[in-house]
């Protein structure tokens, strides 16, 4: 069922005009990990859920496609079970990270993780939401949410279908609550929704997927190359294709004359004269890259004054992705928001507290790591230390990737 869906795309389970005839318990805007996780939980909790996305599934997404042990734990909490080979949703095991900077490299074991293309992950999550009873309305761009009067106790969600007979026409949907799970590109207007704060000089995300074999990227290994203009992760996906994702300064893109050239420059600078560098740079330079808005940002986890509009996942806040934790955070955020809506008499207060505690714990550490990564020579020195004294480096890996437990190191 899932394999078929991946080939053809997940069809809508509700028509726009039908969706407009229902008062939903929750409208979830965005079918990424945050929105899908929330929709699955709310639908399983018996709520009438509408999951809306401006794209269809599968769709491309700039991402390193590495599932941290936190993300895998969240997927298990959602009820996904490993197959006979121990793979969750078809993710392939990720065992090591090779960090490359200032012409040095060190390979470190990682806490158990996985690699899975975003096409496969997100489509399976949305399918699980549909299986749980959520209605799915793809190709529908949400533009605004307004709060009804206190007596009405509803929110109005304005959207525009992107395809079909009603394409381009405004449509108004109603629900008791709305979850904004729109990722970094959140442009949903909420009167009194609070500011979105983007960190000055924040890097942007860029990414592409190359055909299998385009770069010699061993299965099970994430390569992270750190240069002055940013850093780039390369990993072999579950289907053999090569995922390339980078956080990069906008000036570096301008200086290199384009995104692909800037990513190739990061690789060249990090790798020095390593054998693999030239073919990898050529392959990357030919990639068709997508880009994200600035990465490091925050917005209120509760929007508006009625307590009926919550932000989850990247839409609530994000920090540069070196540690590859965003999907785990998004899945956890979806869980926290859904649990609050399902069980709390005051969901907004409850969610803002649990989300704030979660973000304090995870985002602060990532901000400090991101600051260190602005200094590739420092990273190069750290690699030299790691190579000479693996027992110092090994315990740091779980801190880098936000997880516990990890032995042994090999260095080149």
Among 41, 44, 47, 54, which residue sits at the site for ligand FAD (rule: CB under 6 A)?
54
| Residue 58: cis peptide before it, omega within 30 degrees of 0 | yes
Q: In the complex, what is the shortest distance from the CB of residue 253 to ligand FAD, in angstroms, rounded to a whole number?
A: 13
* 27, 71, 88, 283: residue in contact with ligand FAD (rule CB under 6 A): 71
Residues 104-117, buried b or exposed e (16+ Cβ, 10 A)? bbbbbbbbbbbbbb
- Considering only 16, 56, 64, 193, the residue that binds ligand FAD (CB under 6 A) is 64
Within residues 201-220, the interface with ligand FAD by CB under 6 A covers 205, 207
CA distance 99 to 387: 11
Residue 328 engages ligand FAD in binding (rule: CB under 6 A): yes
Residue with Cβ nearer ligand FAD (37 or 379)? 37
61 or 241: CB nearest ligand FAD: 61
- Phi/psi for 19 (5° steps) reads -60, -35
Phi, psi for residue 404 in degrees, rounded to 5: -105, 150
Closest approach of ligand FAD to the CB of residue 389, in Å: 27
| Selected binder of ligand FAD within 56, 227, 287, 321 (CB under 6 A) | 321
Residue 234, SS3?
strand
Q: Which residues pair with 309 in a beta bridge?
A: 178, 303
**Contact between residue 212 and residue 242 where contact means Cβ atoms under 8 Å apart:** yes
Token duo for residue 297? 């940002």
CA–CA gap between residue 76 and residue 25 (Å, rounded): 26
Rounded Cα distance, 412 and 245, in Å: 23
Our finding on whether 182 is near ligand FAD (CB under 6 A) is yes
Residue 339 interacts with ligand FAD (CB under 6 A): yes or no: no
Alpha-carbon span 242 to 237, nearest angstrom: 6
Does the footprint of ligand FAD cover residue 61 (CB under 6 A)?
A: yes
Q: Which stretch binds ligand FAD (CB under 6 A): 60-68, 144-152, 282-290, 379-387?
A: 60-68
Tokens of 384: 């030299």
Among 16, 27, 35, 116, binds ligand FAD (CB under 6 A): 35
CA-to-CA distance for 201 and 148, rounded, in angstroms? 38
Total binding residues for ligand FAD by CB under 6 A? Answer: 44
At residue 104, what are phi and psi to the nearest 5 degrees? -125, 160
Could you give the string, one character per residue 152-181, with x where binding to ligand FAD holds by CB under 6 A and - elsewhere? -----------------------------x
Of the two residues 182 and 236, which places its CB atom closer to ligand FAD in the complex? 182
Q: What angle do CA 310, 339, 311 make, to 5 degrees?
A: 15
Cβ of 219: how many Cβ atoms within 10 Å?
A: 14
185 binds ligand FAD (CB under 6 A): yes
Residue span 242-281 as binding mask against ligand FAD, x where in contact by CB under 6 A, dash where not? ---xxx----------------------------------
Given the rule CB under 6 A, which residues bind ligand FAD? Answer: 29-35, 52-55, 61-66, 68, 71, 141-142, 181-183, 185, 187-188, 205, 207, 245-247, 292, 295, 313-315, 321, 324-328, 330
């Amino acid at each position: 069922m899932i394999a078929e869906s991946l080939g053809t795309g997940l069809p809508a389970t509700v028509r726009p005009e039908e969706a407009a005839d229902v008062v939903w318990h929750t409208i979830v805007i965005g079918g990424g990990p945050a929105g899908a996780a929330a929709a699955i939980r709310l639908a399983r909790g018996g709520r009438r859920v509408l999951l809306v996305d401006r794209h269809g599934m599968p769709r491309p997404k700039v991402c390193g496609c590495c599932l941290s042990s936190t993300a895998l734990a969240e997927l298990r909490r959602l009820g996904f079970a490993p197959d006979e080979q121990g793979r969750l949703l078809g993710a392939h095991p990720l065992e090591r990270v090779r960090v490359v900077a200032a012409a040095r490299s060190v390979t470190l074991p990682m806490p158990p993780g996985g690699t899975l293309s975003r096409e496969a992950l997100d489509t399976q999550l949305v399918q699980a939401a549909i299986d749980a009873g959520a209605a799915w309305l793809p190709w529908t761009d949400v533009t605004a949410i307004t709060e009804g009067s206190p007596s009405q106790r509803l929110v109005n969600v304005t959207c525009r279908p992107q395809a079909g007979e009603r394409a381009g026409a405004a449509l108004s949907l109603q629900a008791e609550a709305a979850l904004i799970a729109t990722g970094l590109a959140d442009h949903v207007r909420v009167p009194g929704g609070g500011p979105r704060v983007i960190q000055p000089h924040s890097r942007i995300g860029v990414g592409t997927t190359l055909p299998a074999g385009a770069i010699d990227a061993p299965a099970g290994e994430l390569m992270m190359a750190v240069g002055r203009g940013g850093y780039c992760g390369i990993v072999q996906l579950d289907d053999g294709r090569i995922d390339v994702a980078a956080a990069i300064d906008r000036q570096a893109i301008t200086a290199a004359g384009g995104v692909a050239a800037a990513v190739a420059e990061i690789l060249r600078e990090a790798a020095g004269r390593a054998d693999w560098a030239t073919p990898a740079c050529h392959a990357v330079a030919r990639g068709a890259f997508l880009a994200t808005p600035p990465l490091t940002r925050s917005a209120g986890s509760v929007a508006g004054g009625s307590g009926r509009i919550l932000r989850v996942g990247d839409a609530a806040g994000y920090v540069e992705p070196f540690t590859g934790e965003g999907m785990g955070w998004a899945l956890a955020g979806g869980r926290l928001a859904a649990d609050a809506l399902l069980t709390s008499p005051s969901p907004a207060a409850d969610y803002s507290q649990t989300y704030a505690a979660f973000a304090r714990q995870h985002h602060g550490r990532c901000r400090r790591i991101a600051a260190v990564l602005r200094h590739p020579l420092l990273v190069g020195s750290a690699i030299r230390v790691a190579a000479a004294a693996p027992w110092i480096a090994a315990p740091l890996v779980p801190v880098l990737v936000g997880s516990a437990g990890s032995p042994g190191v090999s260095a080149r």
